[in-house]
Amino acid sequence: MTNDTFHRLAIIGAGTMGLGIAEFLASVGYNVAIYESSSKAWKNNWSRLKHRLSKQVERGKLTTKEMKELCQRIHLVSSLSDLREMDLIIEAVVENIEVKKELFSQLSQIVSDTTILASNTSSLSITEIAAAAANPERVLGLHFFNPAVKMPLVEVIRGEVTELKWMEEVTQWIKEIGKEPVQVADSPGFLVNRVARPFHIESYRLISEGLADKAQVDRILRAAGFKMGPFELQDLIGIDINLAASVSVYRGFFAEPRFRPHYRQQRMMESGALGRKTGKGHFTYES
């Protein structure tokens, strides 16, 4: 698949999200350049991706040829200056504003006048990241959800100075590659993380006020049509990740009371009960 506007694509950061987005783009036929500053991280995550793909081959979901082609479409580059000719670069490095600002500043010196720079941040201000770049009107957010290969939603986030023209072109392109874009104004938590907050925080209030117990809240909300109740969902997401999202939205809105996290989220994290990944969260799990 090709597109006149965005043909030469690059990803920065080969973590779960970066490599996930690269895998998705390769799966729809694009060649993707990827830059990762840590060779150890690249080796680990690349072999994990290949392992996962070979499992799919074993299960007959992918042919050996398809797997080989998909992997060949993802190229590791050794320097940011190799990204000079790109149409679109998606940044997916660590969620640290200083790191991202430094990267966008550097990148904007390297790339051409027409390159779009996108950040996959889930919590930082697109406007702040953009301000570090030489051409902030060409910076926007592209928030993919984990796992990027499967999850259809992409939040296309418009910073304060992002040009509407680029918002429209990127949105159109996201549609063409088979995802569902939604345009969102740059604001704390963007759309999904913000609107989903009450689902998580109110559940803590229900139990701490003794109005219901955890299993009961989950049962009732499942009966109302939710795939998972808030407590089992938090165990899947990770108590720490969910708390970080709560705190980030709360701070972003300057302590708006609707978003105030609950101290029991904090206690859970302090106790090391982080959810499925530690075998214990709201509920216990056999490893």
Partner 1 sequence: MSRRVILAGNGALYPEIANYLKLQGWMVYSVEESWQEREKIHAVLEIESGFNDDKRQLLIEVEKILPPDIPIFTSVLHRTATEIASWVRVPERIIGFSPLLLSEMEILEVSSPLQVRDQQKWAKFTTIWSEIGKQVEIVGDEPGLVFPRTLALLVNEATFALSERIANARDIDLAMKLGTNFPEGPLSWADQVGIDYIYAILTGLYREYGEDRYRPAPLLRKMIYAGYLGKEVGRGFYDYD
* Residues acting as catalytic residues: 122, 143, 155, 193
Complex with partner 1: residue 161 or 228, whichever CB lies closer: 228
- Range list of H helices, 79-125: 97-110
Q: Total residues contacting partner 1 (rule CB under 8 A)?
A: 41
By beta-carbon proximity to partner 1, the closer residue of 42 and 226 is: 226
Using rule CB under 8 A, residue 168 touches partner 1: no
Beta carbons of 90 and 139 less than 8 angstroms apart: no
Judged by CB under 8 A, the residue of 28, 99, 164, 220 near partner 1 is 220
Residues 189-208, interacting with partner 1 (CB under 8 A): 190-192, 194-199, 202-203, 206
Q: How far apart are CA 236 and CA 283, in angstroms?
A: 11
Judged by CB under 8 A, does residue 155 bind partner 1?
A: yes
Pick the binder of partner 1 from 98, 113, 223, 254 (CB under 8 A): 223
Nearer to partner 1 by C-beta: 117 or 237?
237
Strand partners, 139: 117
Both tokens of residue 121?
A: 């941040």
Strand spans (E) along the chain = 9-12, 32-35, 74-77, 88-91, 116-119, 139-144, 153-158, 180-185
Stretch that binds partner 1, among 4-12, 65-73, 79-87, 221-229 (CB under 8 A): 221-229
Binding mask 116-145 for partner 1 (x = CB under 8 A): -----------------------------x
Q: Is 13 left (phi over 0), alpha (psi -120 to 50) or beta?
A: left
Bridge-based pairing of strands 180-185 and 139-144 is unpaired
